[in-house]
Amino acid sequence: MSARIIDGTFIASQIRQSVSPGVAAFTARAGRPPCLGIVLVGEDPASGTYVRNKVKAGTESGLHVDLRRLSSSASLDELLAVVRELNASDRHDGILVQAPLPAALGRGAAQQVFDTIDPAKDVDGFSPVSVGRLVQGRALLAPCTPSGVIEMLDRCGITMSGARAVVIGRSEIVGKPMAMLLLQRDATVTVCHSKTPDLPGVGRDADILVAAIGRAGFVTRDFVKPGATVIDVGINRVTDASTAEGLFGASSARMADFAKRGSLVVGDVHPNVAEVAGALTPVPGGVGPLTIAMLLKNTLAAAEARAKSS
SS3 labels along 87-125: HHCCCCCEEEECCCCCHHHCCCHHHHHHHHCCHHHECCC
pLDDT band at 1 (very low <50, low <70, confident <90, very high): low
pLDDT at position 45 is 85
Distance CA(74)–CA(287), nearest Å, equals 32
Length of the chain equals: 310
Asked if residue 146 has a cis previous peptide bond (ω within 30° of 0), the answer is no
- Residue extent(s) of CATH 3.40.50.10860 domains in the chain: 30-118
CATH superfamily, with its number, for domain 144-289: NAD(P)-binding Rossmann-like Domain (3.40.50.720)
* Span(s) in the chain for CATH 3.40.50.720: 144-289
pLDDT score at 7? 97
The DSSP letter of residue 31 is: S
Task: Give the amino acid at 298.
Answer: N
Report helix, strand or coil for 270: coil
Q: Where are the alpha helices (DSSP H) in the chain?
A: 8-30, 45-60, 76-88, 109-116, 128-135, 144-155, 175-184, 199-203, 241-248, 253-261, 287-309
Paired strand residues for 39 = 68, 97
Quick one: average pLDDT of 15-22?
95
CATH architecture of 30-118: 3-Layer(aba) Sandwich (3.40)
For residue 310, is pLDDT > 80?
no
Percent of the chain with pLDDT over 90: 97
List residues with catalytic annotation.
Answer: 54, 98, 124
Amino acid at 258: F
Contact between 96 and 38 under an 8 Å Cβ cutoff? The reply is: yes
Q: What is the mean pLDDT of the chain?
A: 96
Global pTM? 0.95
The per-residue pLDDT for 162 is 98
- Give the count of beta carbons closer than 10 Å to the beta carbon of residue 256: 11
Check residue 295 and report its DSSP letter: H
What are the backbone angles phi and psi of residue 39, rounded to the nearest 5°? -115, 125
Cα–Cα distance, 281 to 9 (Å, whole number): 10
Question: Region 239-265: what's the mean pLDDT?
Answer: 94
Q: What pLDDT, on the 0 to 100 scale, is given for residue 25? A: 98
User: Residue 46 — very low, low, confident or very high, per pLDDT cuts 50/70/90?
Assistant: confident
Tell me how far apart the alpha carbons of residues 104 and 282 are, in angstroms, rounded to a whole number: 34
Which are the contacts of 7, defined by CB distance < 8 A and separation ≥ 6?
A: 285
Q: Determine the average pLDDT of the residues in 265-270.
A: 96
Are the C-beta atoms of 209 and 246 separated by less than 8 Å? no
